[in-house]
Chains A and B, each alone.
Chain A
Amino acid sequence: MTYLSKTFILCAGLALAACSNADRFGDSNTVDLNSSGGAGAMAGTAQDPASPVYFQQTIGDRVLFQVDQSTLTPQAQATLDGQAQWLLTNTDYNAVIEGHADEQGTREYNLALGARRANSVQEYLVSKGVAGNRLKVISYGKERPIELCSNEACYAKNRRSVTVISAIPSS
């Protein structure tokens, strides 16, 4: 069937095109703290306050949300105060704020809910003085859970925002 072979060739073409086009902002400047190899690729250590590893591990790159909510708990605000401080000090870095939801709820609603959560983090960081143009938001809805069980213990950790640090390209 010529249709099928044509599809195959086109799909193969897509695959190649996509390889040169990374999933987020792309390329070597992105520090993907979720991927297994990401932390190892990061410059610095948890002891170096100017390093993304310090941001991720010592300050904390994520905050958690209540069911269906995007309001920031006092604990979340404390974490975000640290994030804001770090971003104000380390101006060579930008951040992408990911919003996530648990698996309860439809795909579409969770995308919108994740956007709300990421936005409330962005607004808080901006209110603490971080320039809005250094922050981008993205929602993954329920597409990227970190905990896999189907009960509240896992859901609570999946209802999160993650602030992903990336070095500003040097040009």
Chain B
Amino acid sequence: MRVFLSLVLACLVWVMPALAQNGPLRIEITEGVIEPLPFAAPDFVSDNAAGADMGRKIAEVVAADLTGTGLFREIQPDAFISRVTSFSSPVQYADWKAINAQALITGAVSVDSAGKLVVRFRLFDVFAGQELGQGLQLVGTQDGWRRIAHKVADQVYSRITGEAPYFDSRIVFVAESGPKDQRSKRLAIMDYDGANVSYLTDSASIVLAPRFSPDGERVLYTSYESGFPRIYVMNVGSVQRRVLESQDGQMSFAPRFGPDGRTVVYSVSRGGNTDLFRMDIGTGASTRLTSAPSIETAPSFSPDGTRIVFESDRSGTPQLYIMAASGGEAQRISFGQGRYGTPVWSPRGDLIAFTKQSKGRFHIGVMRTDGSEERLLTASFLDEGPTWSPNGRVIMFTRETQGAQGSASLYSVDITGRNLRQVPTTTGASDPSWSPLQE
């Protein structure tokens, strides 16, 4: 599925983060932002009639991406003094300063003779009276207009925060419907902001916990379609799938890719005992990683592929452990009060996100890889299953409400613990997995 085969970064030099650091327009996220940075994103100018509607829609998506971070605040168009009617005419800084727009995003949209959507944009530091970075041109299919908008927003986010971006990414998740005791579940995929949902399986069998490959093109998941829980790998583009492991008399679940995209680590239950295994999915050869009478599950690789964090109840309650990717001795890292599960290593390597159950409440939290500096980011009746944004700034997870009418939905939260938001989905939704940034 290459919607974006022809994404062309035409003309212009890629902007180095160092360049952005020279300007005063800068959000230092690590210091914690209390006041969101005000920006203006007027409708992108249409260079020809074919692009007319697109100009407004793209500006809206760019603005929604930025405000969704909690770091930016959009100034509503009715406050604008200047109108942007031409992409190339000089910016009237005073007019934007007057309405306190610290950043100004302008753009132009056209459809070329081949039917491709061409989008150009510029970012201005209004108070410094200069352009921030250089203009950029993006080319893609008209159907893929939202991706182009996300790419524009990614550029703006990166230039102002100095952080890697994450808007042009997707979520694979489980779409849910029906009451709790007859819930039907389908594998589904959508843009990170809930747009462009499509379904990858029907609802005939229970499906659980899909996980993206490092290239975003395949998904591992657990399905009951054989009658027993087994791990499948699906190509997201073709929707072709195959079972990974189907030994009679055992169940396999909780799969996750290693950073090489070939190695898969997962749980196998046999004779009531659940242990961790790894498999080379090219050859199908598997290796046992743990052999303890306790439950070992929910494994996740470190980004360099050398270590695995997982959940085990060997101490009597579920806790988090780290071992070498080849197995062997494991170090316990969680020591707080409560039960810990579903650890996920951050893409930056420095943090582990987890689910914690304590005093009848569930939390999503993060800790350093040695277990220090534990911070709980959320609290509810049932929060579980964190997944990291590609840049390691945001965590998405499942929140389920209680009682007979209880249902699941997706939420995201910044790793600072701020900006808790529900991700819009048309059905119930659980078990999100965040793709890498798309090429």
Contacts and interface: CB of A to CB of B under 8 A. Distances in A.
B234 to A, nearest CB: 10
Contacts of B249: 136
Given A3-B3, A105-B339, A115 B402 contact: no
Interface string B250-294: 010110000000000001010111100000000000000000000
A107 B297 CA distance: 10
Interface stretch (A40-48, A55-63, A143-151): A143-151
Contact of A109 (B205, B209, B297): B297
Interface in A106-141: 106-109, 111-113, 115-116, 118-120, 122-123, 136-140
B232 to A, nearest CB: 12
Q: Which of B205, B209, B297 counts the most A-chain CB atoms under 10 A from its CB? A: B297
Contacts of A4: 198
Interface stretch (A16-24, A76-84, A87-95): A16-24
Q: Which of A109, A122, A138, A149 counts the most B-chain CB atoms under 10 A from its CB? A: A109
B63 to A, nearest CB: 24
A108 B254 contact: yes
Contacts of A140: 206
Given A10-B239, A112-B297, A138-B228, A107 B179 contact: no
B271 A14 contact: no
B438 to A, nearest CB: 14
B140 interface: no
B18 interface: no
B290 to A, nearest CB: 12
Contact of B181 (A15, A22, A68, A144): A144
Contacts of B339: 105
A1 interface: yes
Contact of B267 (A10, A22, A112, A146): A112
Nearest to A136: B249
B402 A150 contact: yes
B242 to A, nearest CB: 13
Contacts of A103: 382, 400
Nearest to B143: A1
Given A18-B202, A119-B272, A150 B403 contact: yes
B14 interface: no
Given A108-B297, A148-B404, A116 B272 contact: yes
Interface string B401-433: 011101000000000000000000000000100
Interface string B40-78: 000000000000000000000000000000000000000
B123 interface: no
Contacts of B254: 108, 111
B253 A111 contact: yes
B113 interface: no
A112 B342 contact: no
Contacts of A25: 227
Interface string A65-81: 00010100000000000
B199 interface: yes
Given A111-B297, A113-B295, A18 B204 contact: yes
Contacts of A148: 179-181, 403-404, 406
A166 B272 CA distance: 22
B355 A106 contact: yes
Interface string B237-251: 111000000000101
Interface residues of chain A: helix, strand, loop or mixed (majority): mixed
A109 B181 contact: no
Contact of A15 (B202, B400, B431): B202
B95 interface: no
Contacts of B313: 68, 109
Given A109-B311, A111-B253, A150 B406 contact: yes
A3 B384 contact: no
B348 interface: no
B255 to A, nearest CB: 10
Given A105-B339, A106-B384, A111-B269, A21 B225 contact: yes
Contacts of A138: 227-229, 251
A123 B420 CA distance: 46
A7 interface: yes
Q: Which of A106, A138, A145 counts the most B-chain CB atoms under 10 A from its CB? A: A106
Interface of A: 1, 3-4, 7, 10-11, 14-15, 18-19, 21-26, 68, 70, 103-109, 111-113, 115-116, 118-120, 122-123, 136-140, 143-150
In the A-B complex, list the 7 residue pairs whose CB atoms are closest, starting with the nearest.
A119-B272, A18-B204, A150-B402, A148-B404, A115-B269, A106-B341, A112-B274
30 contacts: A1-B141, A14-B202, A14-B239, A23-B206, A23-B227, A106-B342, A106-B384, A108-B209, A108-B253, A108-B341, A109-B295, A109-B311, A109-B318, A112-B267, A112-B295, A112-B297, A115-B251, A116-B272, A116-B274, A116-B295, A120-B272, A122-B272, A138-B227, A139-B229, A143-B208, A144-B181, A145-B181, A147-B181, A148-B406, A150-B406
